[in-house]
A and B are shown apart, each in its own frame.
Chain A
């Protein structure tokens, strides 16, 4: 028996080797340069697709408005995320304990997550008024609630029967089984849900603003600038919205790696 399976490179050395980030990084730079240069050389009017530098300069010019917008939209996205994830997790923990509750709740939640919840945006604006962050927080919370609920329940209950037998053979209490087995088992599921939820949250916030919001909010801003054919500024706002999505997503990934180092290591081992 050799320890060959244990022969793995650490995440740090992989990072140094550039295996993960180099190809996409190269592609990013190439695409950006190609975009800039080809528009410059061909002399194409930077109408719909302005040059990256043009977008960057309008980002700087319009920064005061855009900064207000990104703060507003981020508040909505993060606020809704926190509410939805918290309620989803707590409901999931509660439902997982009762077989009847989870067996009827999971299919309902799965069905509910296919509902176009964004269609409720105009209603929430009628409830709370367009200037408030509450309409979007409500929408984002409902959108993120369902995937978190489903994954929490699955993670807590889809435990291998043998592991449960093992815990039973130790005469462990329910609380001990929850802590030693169910929660560690559920964490990967939960983080998966969190990743889904972050992307949903930005979509929910920006699209929720389409139906009404303060003029500087990213959703309204993008619509207005597009309507007035001011594409560089519209693009600047879009870039900001994308960055918000990417930053939130990466944040989840980083926290996940820190919280579940064993999972990352196992995935890397499996990749070989």
Chain B
């Protein structure tokens, strides 16, 4: 007999407005917020930044304009907060004398970091799913190990990155280790829930078929865990990019965005916009990776039901 559990009500009484916003609306929202950030940025500079002056002839009209901000904030001066256009220009300007533009250099570094993140991500995701599968099949393993899986996340692995780098010698390996460490956790937790998410009656059905554990895993547990896994993979993707960037720095890898941050941080006094450009690139890499996972998710989830509690 199916007893009506209050929390199950949530799913069955849908139909009122308040569902997911449309894609266009979401894109619009992101656009507006991005624009808002840029406006706030320049407004801060306008009010409290360094003075600047335009002295040029545009279309035959001589322009001579000087802006002296009424206030002076240390946080808004050109060293702390370069102009938006300076950051944009930094991408186009050559990174070194007569070299390729910084944007191209950073793109190369970004690809390097993305590759590292991806390897660690794949490794961590497999490990995470493997642990999840182990835990749903062994109560003892679950009882004794899950607390450690949770505790493992309170260990600031990024803080240990320097030591990991020394421990595993090969720097790429240490980056992969750190990345995988950051990736596996969300996947384990999600697969713990997802592999058990199928309806109790479905499990009984499989039992009535005398299905083996393996069949139940492949035909019931894994398919029903897909939405849970993807929501974890997105979190993991974001974490893996951070892991790669910090891991690179700790391991002293000579390439990638992590090392680019170190490099341009050293030149910050002379060219702050380059560090800003690098950070913008980090942001782009993070969003791209998560975006890629979202795309794969869409392919997988086409026409499938998405449990409302997954979003949590």
Contacts and interface: CB of A to CB of B under 8 A. Distances in A.
Please determine if A and B sit in direct contact within the complex, based on CB atoms under 8 angstroms apart: yes
Interface of A: 5, 19, 21, 23-24, 26-27, 48-49, 103-108, 111, 113-116, 118-120, 122-123, 126-127, 151, 154, 157-158, 160-162, 164, 189, 192, 198-199, 202-203, 206-207, 210-211, 218-219, 222-223, 226-227, 229, 231, 234-235, 238, 241-242, 245-246, 248-249
A119 B283 contact: yes
Interface residues of B, number: 67
A210 B140 CA distance: 39
Contacts of B214: none
A161 B15 contact: yes
B238 interface: yes
29 contacts: A21-B147, A23-B140, A23-B144, A24-B145, A24-B147, A104-B29, A114-B289, A115-B238, A116-B245, A116-B286, A118-B246, A126-B272, A127-B75, A158-B10, A160-B9, A162-B13, A164-B16, A199-B154, A202-B154, A203-B156, A203-B158, A210-B246, A218-B159, A222-B163, A226-B162, A227-B162, A235-B163, A238-B159, A241-B156
Contacts of A119: 245, 257, 261, 278-279, 282-283
Interface stretch (B20-28, B41-49, B53-61, B99-107): B20-28
A137 B97 CA distance: 37
Contact of B265 (A103, A111, A207, A211): A211
B71 interface: no
A206 B312 CA distance: 27
B29 A108 contact: yes
B33 interface: yes
B72 to A, nearest CB: 15
A27 B147 CA distance: 10
Contacts of B38: none
Contacts of B172: none
B79 A122 contact: no
Given A48-B166, A114-B234, A234-B162, 7 more contacts: A48-B167, A103-B26, A104-B26, A106-B21, A114-B289, A160-B9, A161-B18
B216 interface: no
A115 to B, nearest CB: 5
A114 B279 contact: no
